[in-house]
Amino acid sequence: MSEFLVKPDFPYCKGCGHHQVARNTVRALEALERRPLDVVLVTDIGCQGIVDRNFATHTVHGLHGRSVALGSGIAMALPSDKEVVVFIGDGGATIGLQHLLEAARLNVNVTVVVHNNMLYGMTGGQPSGLTPHGFRTVITREGSPYPHHDICQLVHQAGAPYARRILGLGDFSGALEEALAVEGFALVEVLELCTSHALKMNPDLRLRQLAEEAGYEPGVWTGEERPAFELSDGASHESLVEPERVRETEVHDDSPLQDRFSLILGGSAGEGAQRAAELLVEAAMASGLHATKKGSYPVTVGVGFSTAEVILSRDPILYHGIAEPDAVMITSDDGLAHNWERIEAMKSGSVWIDESLEAPETGADVRVRDFRGRAGARNAAIYSLLTMVGETEVITPEALIGVIRQSSIAEYVPEQLLKEAGS
């Protein structure tokens, strides 16, 4: 008995082509002088998948159709001198087609052996995506009306360096040897006939004849040689919380705010609403306040509204929702539309709104200001906040101006605006 086997009797029906695949795989591994513990055999659901108990290699038996992805994960983690062999049927290749294409695209170092007997044998002989036109199954008794996928062409198109189709007759270990020797993704499609189901429904069928009639021509498809997938070297990247990666603030101002202040800033995408809100928060933090900030925008982030919600608080913020804001800043029609109902619902607080817009009926104190005209679209959001801090006692204008001056937007905020706000 081969050192690759712990049991010589494969668990297949008499005459099943799976016997030949298992025998030839062993021959190929022997010819390549692999050690059993250098090989991981990953098997799929289906008759081919119950052979793992015969093998002395590492064995992993997963889900239906997922063995190629599972084997890919294993191969990604193992050094290249380990051999990952995936056994899968035509049904598994159908349900797991995406995994085959992806493994080929990434050139993962696996060798996939597709046991293509053109039907689901374990569940009673139903047709798969690899069942050829005219092939009779228990479901397609008049013959399958559809053409089959060409799995070799598919993985070839996806970038596989090696794909090969063979008839599962006799000694085809040389083909498997070639595939196993490939550095990267290789696939061998072995055509077989299921003795239990295919021959029952197609009594006079011969494998060679079927392959010819169905256009299942044996062949080899080789692709451009390229490096096999390699997981990165395991080196960690720079910490996400080091001072260089987060903007840290030291408290150097004081805030008159004694409790909690909530603000909504509604503008348009690309007009700096989120950045302006962050700067307000940083100024608040530099003034000894706690703060939260969250953004809201449509899934198409480049157009439409851009709303920021900010809470500033003397005490730690346990709950960061805003039931009714103390202040709403509206700098554009997008921002107004998105916050219309919220402004309508306000019973108190203040709404600062650009003079080009009309606020809804509201219980809030409405303050019309010229944000866009004075500061332009790009600076309207930050200018609205400068206006707000000048008219309230949340933080000092100097705190916000200081943060703006040190920020990346300093270069395009007109000095005149900052000076006015400071006075």
Contact residues for another protein, defined by CB under 8 A: 36-38, 40, 50, 52-53, 56-63, 66, 69-78, 82, 98-99, 102, 231-241, 243, 246-251, 278, 281-282, 284-285, 289-296, 299, 317-321, 323
Dist. CA 369–CA 353, nearest whole Å: 6
**Cβ nearer to another protein, comparing 3 with 370:** 3
Dist. CA 104–CA 184, nearest whole Å: 8
Size (the chain), residues: 423
Residue whose C-alpha is closest to residue 272's, from 335, 366, 350: 335
User: Taking the mean position of all CA atoms in its chain, how far away is CA 9?
Assistant: 42
Other beta carbons less than 10 A from residue 413's beta carbon: 24
**Cβ nearer to another protein, comparing 199 with 246:** 246
**Cβ nearer to another protein, comparing 53 with 226:** 53
User: With contact defined as beta carbons under 8 Å apart, do 26 and 5 qualify?
Assistant: yes
**Cβ nearer to another protein, comparing 232 with 408:** 232
**Cβ nearer to another protein, comparing 23 with 61:** 61
Torsion, Cα of 207, 213, 215, 219 (10° steps): 40
Dist. CA 143–CA 202, nearest whole Å: 9
What is the C-alpha end-to-end distance of the chain, expressed in Å?
93
Dist. CA 133–CA 113, nearest whole Å: 23
Measured at the alpha carbon of residue 292, what is the angle toward residues 423 and 369, in degrees to the nearest 5? 35
Dist. CA 192–CA 211, nearest whole Å: 10
**Cβ nearer to another protein, comparing 142 with 238:** 238
**Cβ nearer to another protein, comparing 50 with 167:** 50
**Cβ nearer to another protein, comparing 89 with 132:** 89
- Beta bridge partners, 291, equal 312
**Cβ nearer to another protein, comparing 169 with 410:** 410
**Least CB distance from residue 283 to another protein, whole Å?**
11
User: Taking the mean position of all CA atoms in its chain, how far away is CA 312?
Assistant: 36
Rg over alpha carbons for the chain, rounded to the nearest Å, is 34
- Beta bridge partners, 365, equal 350
Kind of pairing, strands 305-313 and 290-296? Answer: antiparallel
User: With contact defined as beta carbons under 8 Å apart, do 98 and 116 qualify?
Assistant: no
